[in-house]
Amino acid sequence: MQYLLLVYIDPSLIGQLSEAEFDTHMRHCLQHADELQAKGCLLGYQQLEPTDTAKAVRVRSGRTSVVDGPFAETKEMLAGFNLVEADSMDEAVRLAQEFPWTRYGCIEVRPVRDVGAVRVRVGA
């Protein structure tokens, strides 16, 4: 089953790291990602630019609103994601624990819905 590991970071905690410390974490993270990809466990991953570069798009009552980010009053921001293949939620959680970013925010582990099954159910 596929799981999405949503990486949230607290910018104030990340900001306390020296450039060398951050680079060490990033190097470890990328090397670990390479290992997981080689095992066929990590299917894809990306980092996101900071929230102040984002836009939120909403349509309400036929009217479109586009607002500059950040959008929520929260300590943590979505910084990236990893798409993994795991046998269980427990295994996906174990994979999330292996990334250093859990010390500077959290990694939300979410099962990926089978869109093929949804397509069949709704007749699309």
**Residues 10-58: pLDDT tens digits?**
989 999 999 999 999 999 999 999 999 999 999 999 999 988 888 888 8
The pTM is what? 0.86
Pair of tokens at residue 41 = 């466990």
**Residues 45-58: pLDDT tens digits?**
999 998 888 888 88
Angle at 53 between CA 108 and CA 51, to 5 degrees: 30
Give the C-alpha separation, 79 to 51, whole Å. Answer: 8
